[in-house]
A and B are shown apart, each in its own frame.
Chain A
């Protein structure tokens, strides 16, 4: 896949952040706990539903006319993580979103 291609959220997808779950995750993060398994948002389109965690939500929100590279750079400015690991995770997540039709590449 061309990593310079811009990513767009499919406008047919309905999604929302789950405020309470998100607040709970913030508290856990402050306490240094693992929050990977906690869903903080749901995406829904054409009968397919996805529950995504805190980092998934951050990526989802960045899928607005950015390339993979730009998404990774944005995240690097927010989180202290290894770039190559992050890039792989983001790529895998975007592949899943794309395969489910939740995002489109321009």
Chain B
């Protein structure tokens, strides 16, 4: 009675929503720094959230920018959770003290992810351009947990941290987070400009994933999440995963501060606007989403035995670096 395949979903299950684009940090890998600063007025945002809830979306993950710099974040989150949406966010943690954590809980946040780039404070601080940010990010994890919010750590893997898996795991265990997310490096925004300094070579990616998968299998009491389809090359994708390849445009969608919808935060193609357009219609009819859902193997993917699982890897990365969604993921170390 359960199926191997997903039905044609009428709407995304989850939406990553950048409600603002202001930030108090200056990270070298930021994908959105150069993005729009136009923000939706509160009443328009509210009616957009109503639209999203009505379309059947389960959850909203607020991002940005730094969502806590939005003056009305708490009211907006409370409004969204009042509509039955599950609300979470990603933050740099700077503004989360004990009182703020309690307010976030009150507003309905069930999960908050904090970005940590390194176990070493000086590395994290210099990468983020703000002294003391590491200490405050760690403190935020404590405040959130004590307020009853499930926490996670998000780490974008790049040159400064790819060989420190054990140390990052130790931080996650120490802070008793629910999940440690190792995100692949996307090469969008500043990530593209700083690619040569930050990105790993395919061989280094292979080493990183080998070690991360080993940690995933040995570390108890911590969910280590790897969202990169190319781990299919190491036979590490969970059997029975309903979605092959990237989940973007299949389960999730991204909305920018001005309401523009894009397949994911790292693909800068606008496929509609939440204020103007019907979400279900865009989800169903967008030619861009259609292309992402029906990728065709090109180049080395054509003969690859992992294609059914991997579907050419991360579509955002392929598009950013080659201009073609169907190109093999540039991080792929396969032949």
| Chain A interface (Cβ < 8 Å from any Cβ of B) | 14, 16, 18-21, 37-42, 44, 47, 49-53, 55-56, 59, 89, 93, 96
Contact = CB atoms under 8 A, between A and B. Distances in A.
A5 B242 CA distance: 31
Closest 7 CB pairs of A and B: A56-B1, A39-B7, A21-B7, A14-B58, A93-B1, A51-B3, A18-B7
Contact of B3 (A19, A20, A39, A47): A39
Contact of B242 (A18, A49, A59): A49
Contacts of B86: 14
Interface string B6-33: 1111100100000000000000000000
B9 to A, nearest CB: 6
B10 A42 contact: no
B8 A44 contact: no
B183 to A, nearest CB: 15
A16 B56 contact: yes
Nearest to B223: A47
A51 B2 contact: yes
Nearest to B13: A44
A48 to B, nearest CB: 10
A42 B13 contact: yes
A38 B242 contact: no
B162 interface: no
Contact of A89 (B1, B3, B242): B1
B5 interface: yes
B177 to A, nearest CB: 14
A14 B111 CA distance: 15
A96 B7 CA distance: 19
A89 B3 CA distance: 14
A27 to B, nearest CB: 14
Contact of A18 (B1, B5, B10, B59): B10
Given A14-B58, A14-B86, A49-B242, A42 B7 contact: yes
A39 B6 contact: yes
A37 B13 contact: no
Contact of B2 (A16, A21, A38, A56): A56
A18 B8 contact: yes
A22 B5 CA distance: 15
Contacts of A20: 8, 10
Given A14-B13, A14-B86, 15 more contacts: A18-B7, A19-B10, A20-B8, A37-B3, A37-B4, A40-B7, A47-B225, A50-B2, A51-B4, A52-B2, A55-B1, A56-B2, A89-B1, A93-B1, A96-B2
A93 B8 contact: no
B19 to A, nearest CB: 21
Contacts of A56: 1-2
Nearest to A43: B2
Nearest to B284: A20
B150 to A, nearest CB: 9
Contacts of A50: 2
Contacts of B223: 47
Contacts of A93: 1-2
A21 B9 CA distance: 8
Contacts of B8: 18, 20-21
Nearest to A18: B7
A52 B56 contact: no
A18 B2 contact: no
B59 A52 contact: no
12 contacts: A37-B3, A38-B3, A39-B6, A40-B7, A49-B6, A49-B13, A50-B2, A51-B2, A51-B3, A51-B5, A55-B1, A59-B1
A64 B13 CA distance: 23
B59 A41 contact: no
B1 A53 contact: yes
Contacts of A21: 7-8, 10
